[in-house]
Amino acid sequence: MGLPTLKGGIHLYEGKELSEDKPVVMLQSKGEMVFPLSQHIGAPAKPLVAAGDHVLVGQKIGEMDGVISACVISSVSGTVKAIEPRMIANGTMIMSIIIENDETYQTIESFGIKRDPKTLSKEEIRNIIKEAGIVGLGGAGFPTYVKLSPRDDAKIDTVIVNGAECEPYLTSDYRLMIEEPEKIIKGLQIMLQLFEHARGVISIEDNKPKAIEKLQELAKDEPRITILPIKTKYPQGWERTLINNVTGRKINSDMLPAEAGCIVNNVGTVISIYNAVAENTPLIRRIITVTGDAIQNPQNYCVRIGTSYQQLVEASGGYKTEPKKLISGGPMMGQAMAHTDIPVTKVSSALVAMAEDETAGNPAAACIRCGRCVRVCPGRLVPQKMVLAAANSDAERFFKLNGMECCECGSCSYICPARIPLTETFIKTHQSITIKKENKREAKR
């Protein structure tokens, strides 16, 4: 019997060899820092500071506004210059707190004080995670304290740590598993304190044998923790795929993982939980992979949230050649950027600079009905029919085709010989349908 895997999916050029053996380098930020008040799923945070205020490292500068929201914490000390709209990676303008970094990195009084997680109650642990501003670092940005607060703790029987990192080029999670595996185990132990009846499973693609070996060694005397190697295939790190691989259960877009008895968190999120609970350090840093064939020296950096992407480029020696495409995140699910004057946020994972843009100058042709998109779809959908419904603004047909189950992984667009922008169309359709739902909900209030 082979390793667990998903149906469909694709095997991609990984590009990980550019940075996977590059240990994480601490990058000190300088100059202006930008803290968007929306770095997460849910309502934007409310500013707690004003222009002219002096702030410290670890100080809460944005308060969560609603149940689904997240705090924003300053990663530097300095003076608030303004609160104004700034562009983030997806091109939208978000109200942001602008701080001039004084480069002294003075911290709040309680910052970094160690404590024993075993002495804390469930309520205390969840509140620490909430106040630390932790969100899902795998890209979605869902507030972690909400995910760790299901209606019934007793019904959670599996806590999954996502170590797949199936996106090409990205190696930040791999470096965390190599360099800080103890924190992953301890962070998982903290989560298991919240769910007494649960087992912990760390799921890692088999193209990361060193990470698997390290974590297996650390977990060998942990009866509640298992390391599960899975087959290397994209998009193996999809939450639904992981749940199915680990438990055999299936969920859909109308369900939360908790309804299937599962909690799923990325390895970076798990380390952030450990840092907050055991070391009183809120989410103020991210591990970022800077890579691509246009980058002079690909590298992994530990960088303060709010730092400009341009500083990452400069730290990597600039460009070997002028990039034709800049991507925040991976090439499959990341976002193309017009420039690097954009801040690193909680959900940033990589900067990929490509010497060529393979999609440029290649207009879409007519569908040849080859069925490749159907074969690779991990959701077992029919993209060629979905895109027709979406193009005709036929939401009812799109629903009947289970279009809302699409995970926007990009596999169909990648494999399409006609270069039809399938995933792009589905993303826009999802957004349109979601906005209409929200408008109807607001109208009924």
Same domain, 149 and 9: yes
Give pLDDT, residue 439: 66
Are residue 338 and residue 436 in the same domain, yes or no? no
pLDDT at 422 over 90: yes
Q: How large is the average pLDDT for residues 392-420?
A: 92
CA-to-CA separations, 64 to 41, 132, 269, 280, in angstroms, rounded = 11, 11, 18, 19
Judge whether 291 and 320 are in contact, CB under 8 Å: no
Confidence of residue 436 (pLDDT cuts 50, 70, 90): confident
Question: What dihedral do alpha carbons 186, 204, 378, 243 form, nearest 10°?
Answer: -40
Amino acid at 383: P
Q: How confident is the model at residue 41 (pLDDT cuts 50, 70, 90)?
A: confident
How much is the average pLDDT of 261-268?
A: 96
* Mean pLDDT on 61-68: 92
Is residue 250 classed exposed, middle or buried when 0-12, 13-18 and 19+ CB atoms within 10 A define those classes? exposed
Evaluate if pTM is beyond 0.85.
yes
Q: Residue 82: inside a domain, yes or no?
A: no
pLDDT of 95 over the 90 cut: yes
Number of structural domains (the chain) is 2
Q: What percent of the chain has pLDDT over 90?
A: 85
pLDDT in tens, 206-258: 999 999 999 999 999 999 999 999 999 999 999 999 999 999 999 988 888 99
pLDDT of the residue at 19: 97
Q: Is the pLDDT of residue 290 over 60?
A: yes
- Looking at 292, 326, 360, the residue that finishes a domain is 360
Q: Does residue 361 register a pLDDT over 70? A: no
Query: Mind listing the pLDDT tens digit for each residue in 49-63?
Result: 999 999 999 999 999
Regarding whether 259 and 293 lie in a shared domain, the answer is: yes
Domain containing 242 equals: 1-27+112-360
- On whether the CB atoms of residues 83 and 100 are closer than 8 A, the answer is no
pLDDT score at 67: 85
Whether residue 360 is predicted with pLDDT greater than 70 in this model: the reply is: no
pLDDT at position 434 is 74
Let me know whether 292 and 378 are in one domain: no
The residue-averaged pLDDT of 294-319 equals 97
Domain boundary residue, one of 360, 386, 414:
360
CATH of the domain at 339: 3.40.50.11540
Residues 380, 324, single domain; the answer is no
Select from 335, 360, 385 the last residue of a domain.
360
Percentage of residues in the chain with pLDDT exceeding 70?
97
Judge if 349 and 381 occupy the same domain: no
One domain, residues 281 and 413: no
Task: Quote the mean pLDDT of the chain.
Answer: 93
In a domain, 68, yes or no: no
Are residues 339 and 252 part of one domain? yes
Decide if pLDDT at 348 tops 90: yes
Domain assignment present for residue 151? The answer is: yes
If asked whether residues 343 and 395 sit together in one domain, one would say no
Q: Which of 192, 62, 44, 60 is nearest to 118 (CA)?
A: 192
User: CA nearest 328: which of 368, 291, 372?
Assistant: 291
Residues 327 and 377 in one domain: no
Kindly state whether residues 255 and 383 are assigned to the same domain: no
Instruction: Give per-residue pLDDT as tens, 113-137.
Output: 999 999 999 999 999 999 999 999 9
Contact 320, 292 (CB under 8 A): no
Q: Identify the band that residue 1 occupies on the pLDDT scale cut at 50, 70 and 90.
A: low
The pLDDT score that the predictor gives to residue 2 is 76
Residue 443 in this model has a pLDDT that exceeds 80: no
Model pLDDT for residues 275-289, shown as the tens digit of each residue = 999 999 999 999 999
Are 364 and 420 contacting, i.e. CB atoms less than 8 angstroms apart? Answer: yes
Q: Give me the mean pLDDT over the 33-53 stretch.
A: 95
Note whether residue 103 is domain-resident: no
Identify the pLDDT of residue 166.
93
In a domain, 72, yes or no: no
User: Are residue 232 and residue 329 in the same domain, yes or no?
Assistant: yes
Instruction: Give the model's pLDDT for residue 138.
Output: 84
